[in-house]
Structure 1
Amino acid sequence: MTAIWATGRLGMPCTGNRTGMTTKLHYTVPGMTQSDAKRVVELLQDRLNACNDLHLTLKHVHWNVVGPHFIAVHEMLDPQVEAVRGFADDLAERIATLGGSPVGTPGALVAARTWDEYSIGRATTQEHLGALDLVYQGVITSYRDGIKELGELDPVTEDMFIGQTEQIELFHWFVRAHLEDKGGHLSTEGAGTEQEAAAAAAE
């Protein structure tokens, strides 16, 4: 695993069409130009890819955590999985509303994603939580980048991104609460990869 999480696992900004979908829109919502709608659809598809990947990653962790805190983490993750699945559905329906065609097939996701696959298999709860800290950092950073751009393009989609970011940041706090000491320091501070974060959290 060599990806640098500061640049965003699940979080590289979308700079063009890598999904294989048709980006030419034949109509969009009233009051929006087709060129603006095309860019908004690209941003939405990027987050749709990220959310589809994220809910699968969270479920993978749910299945593979071991150790004395297993049940707490195992049960903490399922509501996150369900919420992120719901985000994906909302993103896809917004793409369709704007006249685009959402792409949710596994092959298209793998072809389009700009991040590496989650690299931790069976591991302790602390190791997985350390890795998830970096996952969430990437997701949140890219959502916030999208919010900045959407402010000029489409306040409706911007509002959707803001609402989803609020929930994802809450989930990130749930993860980080397991990694924080009483002085407020994170065990994963300075980690640049999932493997580094997992190792630091396990110490």
Structure 2
Amino acid sequence: MATKSKSPSFTIPGLAKADGAKLAGILQERLTALSDLHLTLKHVHWNVVGPHFIAVHEMIDPHVDEVIAMTDETAERIATLGVSPKGTPGSIVETRTWDDYSLGRATTNEHLGALDEVYVNLIQDHRKVQETVAELDPVSEDMIIGQLRQLELFHWFVRAHLESSGGALSTAGADSETEAAIQAGDAADVTE
């Protein structure tokens, strides 16, 4: 019978078991966020509509593959630390600290506006984790930095659709995913 021990019986050489458990807990939060992002991106891929449908629809899938690779890398790092990674849908819902993605069928700009807010929060949290893990483990820090590089690049792709030629973002000042979607949709209506 499988045990549900939270305390690892081993961790990576040179790291105390308590630090390995702490690091695994921090990485588990990132695993949850990345798993949620993967599912959210597929949801957007299936539900985006409008004049720029094909561009956005096709832009998302390669990044989905990148995010899936990030989840796998993160889960394997947790296992390397001696802890069982949790990737079930129930564990994602149970442990996430944010609301579920709220848009269904919506225009490209509305989804991209909402994704802008999703990425702002995800990247901010990833950066906080990078600072924390830097003190514990350079290998995990390197992994997080590599993920940040990919996440920030895709965020730029999203924002390029929301940016005016003068550099203003249609989502500027939005403090929620829904508000960002509305602002981006309204801005698209004005320009089309």
Give the TM-score, by structure 2 length.
0.94
**Is residue 117 of structure 1 aligned with residue 100 of structure 2?**
yes
Provide the rounded CA distance (Å) in 1 between the counterparts of 2:167 and 2:20. Answer: 42
Aligned to 1:48: 31
1:31 and 2:14 aligned: yes
Q: Which aligned pairs between 1:12-161 and structure 2 lie closer than 5 A?
A: 22-161=5-144
Q: In structure 2, how many angstroms separate the alpha carbons of the residues matched to 1:120 and 1:22?
A: 38
Residue segments in structure 2 that go unaligned for 5+ positions in a row: 187-192
Count of residue pairs the alignment pairs up = 183
Percent identity of the aligned residues?
61
Residue 23 of structure 1: CA displacement? 2.0
C-alpha displacement of 1:34 = 1.1
Name the Cα RMSD after superposition.
0.8
* Structure possessing the higher radius of gyration over alpha carbons: 2
Residue 6 of structure 1 corresponds to none
The whole-number CA distance in structure 2 between the counterparts of 1:134 and 1:22 is: 36
Matched, 1:175 2:158: yes
* 1:22–1:137 CA distance, 2 compared to 1 (3 A): farther
Q: CA deviation at 1:22?
A: 3.4
Structure 1 runs (4+) deviating above 4 angstroms are none
Q: Aligned equivalents of 2:23 and 2:164: distance in 1?
A: 40
Given candidates 154, 157, 167, the residue that maps to 1:184 is: 167
Distance 1:148 1:116 in 2: 25
Higher RCO (CA 8 Å, separation ≥ 6 residues):
1
**Quick one: distance in 2 between partners of 1:32 and 1:117?**
36
Unaligned runs of 5+ in 1: 1-20
